[in-house]
Amino acid sequence: MEITWDYLAGFTDGEGSIGIVGRAPRVTWGQKDKHQLEVLKDFLLKEGFHPNFYYVERNTPERRLNGIYMMNLCRRDEVLRFCQEIQPRVVLKILQCDIVLKWLEDNPRQCHTAELDHRLVNRYAEEGYTQQAIGKILGCSAQKIAKTGKRFGITFHQAGGKIENGKHVEAMNKSTYALHRQEKEKTRQCPGCGKRIYNNSSRCHACALKHRHQIKPESFMASNTKSVQAVTNPSVEQEKV
């Protein structure tokens, strides 16, 4: 069977879905027959797409009979090209195509996709700029700067030390690093008992309860069952007498 764009548009009309899932556009097909989706997958691969093919099991005793094979397109540029191809061909999914194309136009890609000039990155690294500062200058993330440095063998200054305006002014030597670790360990110790605590905590759990009991003793009255007096039923007491 020869697959064409007209056939794929008709198949998408009946067995597919086009829409926005979360914060990303997606085209999805589902079939009980695995062979049908495999034929469509081969056609999409020849056209330069990268479809995802997987099997979804149902939570029933007869999973093999109730499971379904799924295939979708998730890449932004591929969804855009697919909708542009089938929009003049579909009958039922015209509105969905228009919604996805409008959403792609109103929500441009936010990440920096252009190839970085590694010579420019190397120059900023030699001048002492941090990876985060280089990313702000070039309009991309620090992770992309780190990947570019790893790819082209760019050496960045060691983290730590004194930084001014995104530049390493003074490197952190061994004595400075030791003092830094000591100060950091002090902030990770409970002031009451000296136990190690989390970075965002001020006291350990036991000392926090003691401190709360000192400043707000009334907050323990409702939860402390020992402090609640037993209430007797007068009718039961009379029967005993």
The reported pLDDT for the residue numbered 172 is 74
**pTM, full prediction:** 0.48
Tokens of 41: 């997958």
Span 133-158, average pLDDT: 87
Span 109-138, average pLDDT: 84
The 3-state DSSP class for residue 129 equals: strand
Structural domains of the chain in order of their starting residue, each with its CATH number? 5-106 (3.10.28.10)
54 has a pLDDT exceeding 70: yes
Span 128-146, average pLDDT: 88
The fraction of the chain above a pLDDT of 70, given in percent, is 81
As a whole number of angstroms, the distance between CA 46 and CA 230 comes to: 79
- pLDDT: which is higher, 175 or 88: 88
Distance, CA of 90 to chain centre: 34
Is the distance from CB of 112 to CB of 134 less than 8 angstroms? no
The fraction of the chain above a pLDDT of 90, given in percent, is 34
The reported pLDDT for the residue numbered 190 is 82
The reported pLDDT for the residue numbered 222 is 47
72-86, 87-101, 197-211, 218-232: least confident range: 218-232
Is the distance from CB of 211 to CB of 201 less than 8 angstroms? no
In this prediction, residue 42 has a pLDDT band, given cuts at 50, 70 and 90, of very high
